[in-house]
Amino acid sequence: MTTSLAEALSPLTARLPRMVREHEVLRIAATLQGEDPEAAARAAAAEVLKWATRQAGTKLPEQAWAGESFDLPLPGRDPTAIRLRTDNADLWAFRLHRPDRDVPGRAWTTEVVLGHIPGQPARFSTRLIVATDEPGLAIAPAVPGFVRQIAQKCGLLAGSQRLRTAPSVLRSREDGEALIDHLTDPGRVLPTIVLTCFTGEEAPFLDAARLNQHLLGLAHVTVAHADACWALTERLGKRLSVFGGAARIYQPGFDEASDPYAHRLVLAETLASQQSAARADSWLRQAAAGASLRRSRIGRDVLTFAAMRAASLETRQAELRDSGSEGEKLAAALARVDALEEQLTSIRAENDYYVEEYESERARAEAAEAQAQAAAWRIQDLIAKLREAGGDPDNTMVWPNAWEHFADWCENQFAGRLVLTPAARRGVRKPELIDIQTAARALHWLATQARDRFIDGGGTLANIPIFEGVQNAPCGQDSFDFNWAGRRFLADWHVKNGGNTRDPSRCLRIYYCFDPQTRQIIVAEMPTHRRTGAT
C-alpha cells in the first residue's frame, strides 16, 4: 500500500500549532458627497475616529483629531494613521486591530483610506480583515459602524447610486417601475437584494433594516410589496421577477434579457422558519461581501494601509537622502523594508484568495454543467420514449403572441432540445420584427426536424425550404464565433425568410449551430440581421 508524503507527515503536523492566516472579509469603495471635498473627507475621518475611540477604549492623541499621522501603541489594538500629501493628492489612512470578543485567537483589522484630488469628489474606502487559525472560517460579515455614520452625515455614492441607511420600501406599480430603472441602471455597481412579502403580510421573512445595516456599502436592500412585484413581473416575466415572500439578488449589469440563474432566487419556503431565515440572512451577507472582493481591485478602487505606509516611508527616505544623519537614514530604510514586507504579505493573501475563488468557481461550474447536461439528456430520453409510445411532446403547444413572453415560451417548450444564448434573448426582448408566429414556427422546426437530422442524418440541410417563404441555409462568409456556457462555438447555419430585405420589421434571421456534446440547437442571435462592421 502506497503512503503519500502528506499521510506520512500527518502525525507530526497534528502536533504543530496551526498557522494563523489572514482572510479579507469585505471591501467598500465609494464617493463622498458634498461640494467641498476636503471638508467631506475631514467629516468622514472624524466619524472613523469616534468609532475607533470606542473600539480602543481610550482617548486618541491630538494629532488624530487634527488629521495628522499618529501611532498609539495599545496591546492588541495599535490605532495608527498616516497623512500623505503630494502635489496632486491629499490622503489619510487609518488602521485598527482588535481581538474578537467571543472567539479566542481571532483578531480583526479595519483599514480606512480617505483622499481627494483637486477638482474631484473625495473618495472613501475601507477593508475588513480577520486573522485566525480556524481551519474552516464561517462568519456572517457586517460592515463597521462608521460606514453608517458617514453615509448619514456626509452621504456616500457607489457608482451613480446613493447608499441608503434604511431599506427602500416599494408599494405601488410606479415604485415597481422605479425599481426596474434602478436594477437596469448601468451605473449600479452593487448587488440589489429585493425582499418581498408573503400574501397578506406587511413585512418580509428577513429583517430588512438589520440586513441593510449589515450590508451598507456592499448591497442595496429593497422591500417590494404586491403591487410593486406585479409591475416587476409584467415587465420582466416570472423567470426574472420575485414575489410571494421570496428574495432575489440582482447583480450589477442586469437587464430584461439576463440569465435568471445569474441572479439568485431564494424561495419563500426556504425563508419561512426562523432557522431557515437566519441561514438565508447569513448566506446573503456572505454573498455580498464575497462579491465586494471580486468586484473591486486593490490599488485601483481600494488602497491598502500597507501601500500607504510604504509610500509615506519612501517619501521620508527621499527627504533624508541629502540632509539626514546615517542613523536616521538607516532607521527610515529599515522601516520601509518592514512596510514593503507587510505589503507583500497583503498581496500574497489577496492572490491566495483569488486562487481559492478560482478553484471553487471552477468546481461549481463543472458541477452545474454536469447537472445541466444530465437534465438535458434526461429530457431527450423522455421525449424519445414518448415518441416510441406514439405521443408527441408538442401536440399541446400554444404559439406565443407577444415578444415579451417569447424567451420563456422557448425555454419551456424546447428544454433539452434548443437553447437561446443571452444575445438571442436580448434580441427577442423588443424586436421590430412583426411576424412572431413565423419566428416561433422556425424554432419549432429547428428543435424537431433539424435537430433530428443533425443527430440521425437523413440528407443535407443546406438551402432547403422549411415552410412557405422560409428556408435553412449555411451562413458561409457570415459565420461567426460566439461563447455559450463557457465554450466557444461557430454559428454556421441560419434560418431566413425570402427576399433580400434588411427591413428589421420584415427580415427574419436565426443564426445557430448544433452542439453534438449536449445534442441541442444553440441559437446564437435572432430574430433579424446581425449587425457587423459591413452592415
What are the boundaries of each domain within the chain? Answer: 18-158, 164-295, 403-525
| 130 backbone φψ class: left, alpha, beta (φ>0; ψ -120 to 50) | beta
DSSP letter at 302 equals B
Q: What percent of the chain has pLDDT over 70?
A: 82
Distance in angstroms (rounded) separating the CA atoms of residues 445 and 427? 19
pTM to 2 decimal places:
0.68
Of 193-197, 262-266, 346-350, 530-534, highest mean pLDDT? 193-197
Q: Give the model's confidence band at 486: pLDDT under 50 very low, under 70 low, under 90 confident, else very high.
A: confident
Give the Å distances, CA to CA, from 292 to 109, 219, 250, 461: 17, 9, 14, 49
Does 499 or 498 have the greater pLDDT score? 498
The answer to whether residues 198 and 139 touch, using CB atoms and an 8 Å cutoff, is no
The answer to whether residues 479 and 491 touch, using CB atoms and an 8 Å cutoff, is yes
Peptide bond between residue 422 and the one before it cis (omega within 30 degrees of 0): no
pLDDT 10s digits, 196-206: 998 888 899 99
Cross-strand partners of 192: 220, 250
Q: What is the mean pLDDT of residues 10-19?
A: 56
The answer to whether residue 91 scores a pLDDT higher than 80 is yes
The answer to whether residues 350 and 298 touch, using CB atoms and an 8 Å cutoff, is yes
Number of other CB atoms surrounding residue 449 within 10 Å: 15
Q: Give the per-residue pLDDT at 1.
A: 46
Tell me how long the chain is: 535
Distance in angstroms (rounded) separating the CA atoms of residues 405 and 394? 18
Give the Å distances, CA to CA, from 129 to 45, 304, 350: 20, 11, 11
Give the DSSP H or E segment for 228. helix 226-236
The verdict on domain 164-295 having CATH code 1.10.10 is no
**Can you read off the three cell numbers belonging to residue 387?**
415518441
Q: What is the mean pLDDT of residues 52-61?
A: 92
Amino acid letter, 176:
G
Residues in Cβ contact with 261 at an 8 Å cutoff, skipping those fewer than 6 apart: none
Distance in angstroms (rounded) separating the CA atoms of residues 30 and 407? 37
Reduce the DSSP state of residue 398 to 3 states and report it: coil
Distance in angstroms (rounded) separating the CA atoms of residues 507 and 497? 7
Instruction: State the number of CA atoms in the 13 A half-sphere of 290 facing the CB.
Output: 17
The answer to whether residues 308 and 84 touch, using CB atoms and an 8 Å cutoff, is yes
CATH architecture designation of domain 18-158: 2-Layer Sandwich (3.30)
**Which residue in this structure is represented by grid cell 474631484?**
120
The answer to whether residue 534 scores a pLDDT higher than 80 is no
Closest alpha carbon to 462 in 420, 490, 501, 496: 496
The answer to whether residue 228 scores a pLDDT higher than 90 is yes
Give the DSSP H or E segment for 366. helix 326-388
Q: Give the per-residue pLDDT at 397.
A: 80
Cross-strand partners of 96: 110
Q: Give the per-residue pLDDT at 347.
A: 63
Give the Å distances, CA to CA, from 350 to 137, 341, 354, 355: 16, 14, 6, 9
pLDDT 10s digits, 341-359: 666 666 666 666 566 666 6
Gap between the terminal Cα atoms of the chain? 67
Closest alpha carbon to 140 in 288, 29, 241, 337: 288
The answer to whether residues 532 and 455 touch, using CB atoms and an 8 Å cutoff, is no
Number of other CB atoms surrounding residue 333 within 10 Å: 13
Closest alpha carbon to 188 in 283, 127, 259, 263: 263
The answer to whether residues 58 and 149 touch, using CB atoms and an 8 Å cutoff, is no
The answer to whether residue 20 scores a pLDDT higher than 90 is no
Distance in angstroms (rounded) separating the CA atoms of residues 282 and 326? 55
